Amino acid sequence: MQMERQGKTVQHQNALKELPGFSVFTEPKNTRKFLMSRHTPEPKLNEQVKSDEHRQHVRDAYAKVAQADNLGQGCCAESSCCGVSDDAAINTVISKRLGYSDSDMNQVPKGADMGLGCGNPKAIAALRAGETVVDLGSGGGFDCFLSAQEVGETGYVIGVDMTPDMVTKARSNAEKGKYANVEFRLGEIEYLPIADSEADVIISNCVINLSPDKPQVFREAFRVLKPGGRLAISDIVATATLPEAMRKDVGLISGCMGNASLIKDLATMIEEAGFIDVRIEPKNESKDFMRDWAPGNEVMDYIVSATIEGVKPATALQVAPVDNR
């Protein structure tokens, strides 16, 4: 009986050794205790801490933007915030340069257009009545409200933002505009608070570039899109590798610039998430208005705004999300 127990103990111990993230220790004096401790490898833990710090800095910067806008004050000086201004007239000029029309400006509640974008995702989304749209990083709700007009009463728009102040502002704007088909949810775009295969289209305007884990963002986008669903994104891309000092500059990161990916690297991320028909088109004319974001900074020699498109295959199998937290 004793030998049988010892045999089972050895089998149990060997089995434990096969479990990832578990360690088995044997104490002296023939007293066997199995101390099972889940552990995160040091490099992964450090990477997670850095990602959390990155995300928190961005959250803090955009909370200040929302708070300053609510109070009628200027944007925080430490972050260019994609050219954001508290002046509605200036924001209108910025949005027109991005391709929005006077009609677009007049359709949305006052305060929704915060000048935070670097393009016009609605222009490439080809939205249709009845579709469900998800906006990654919805800010004050500007693109959500314009999308709501396109999809009509039978459609639905969900805006997701990780900054509580922005979500509060967007909900207030929705109430002012009496939108019945728009909802704003607090959440991170790397882990969307949205069910599988719920959206027809995902839009985003100068936000994905803020994420410390862009591959995870695209995996999540793939998850929540229906088969045949579409990406319609405006964001900043790198035309050359940014110097390390720029990549670590927290002001440039929260200003949508320091974390820019090379076009070929970004295309690979999107394709590896499962998308097909990926197209990334740089808009060289964007350099004209982007110079106002960081006057005198050489970062403009490395970046440009671009439209980013992709399609989830109509026969796509749902892939389990990867949790890197």
Q: Give the residue with greater pLDDT, 264 vs 75.
A: 264
Using CA atoms, how far apart are residues 102 and 222, in angstroms rounded to an integer? 33
Within this chain, do residues 59 and 22 fall inside the same structural domain, yes or no? no
Q: Is the pLDDT of residue 29 over 70?
A: no
Do 97 and 195 share a domain, yes or no?
Answer: yes
**Model pLDDT for residues 194-224, shown as the tens digit of each residue:** 999 999 999 999 999 989 899 999 999 999 9
pTM listed for this prediction: 0.75
Q: Which of 310, 324, 248 is nearest to 280 (CA)?
A: 310
21 and 119 part of one domain = no
- Residue at 322 is within a domain: no
Strand order in the sheet with 199-205: 182-186, 156-161, 132-136, 199-205, 225-238, 303-311, 276-283
Q: What is the pLDDT of residues 39-53, one digit of tens each?
A: 344 556 666 666 667
Q: Which of 229, 306, 294 is nearest to 267 (CA)?
A: 306
**Angstrom distance (rounded) from CA 43 to CA 247:** 20
Number of domains in the chain: 2
> Residue 219 is encoded by which pair of tokens?
């995996």
pLDDT by residue (tens digit) across 120-173? Answer: 899 999 999 999 999 999 999 999 999 999 999 999 999 999 999 999 999 999
Q: Are residues 195 and 253 in the same domain?
A: yes
Region 100-107: mean pLDDT is 79
Q: Judge whether 318 lies within some domain.
A: no
Per-residue pLDDT band for 178 (boundaries 50, 70, 90) equals very high
190, 76, 194: which is closest to 133 by C-alpha? 194
Q: Is the pLDDT of residue 17 over 70?
A: no
Q: Looking at the structure, tell me whether residues 95 and 118 fall in a common domain.
A: yes
Q: Is 321 inside a domain boundary?
A: no
If pLDDT is split at 50, 70 and 90, which confidence band does 295 have? Answer: confident
Asked if residue 324 belongs to a domain, the reply is no
143 shares a domain with 20: no
Contact between residue 68 and residue 62 where contact means Cβ atoms under 8 Å apart: no
91 and 112 inside one domain:
yes
Structural domain span for residue 3: 1-39
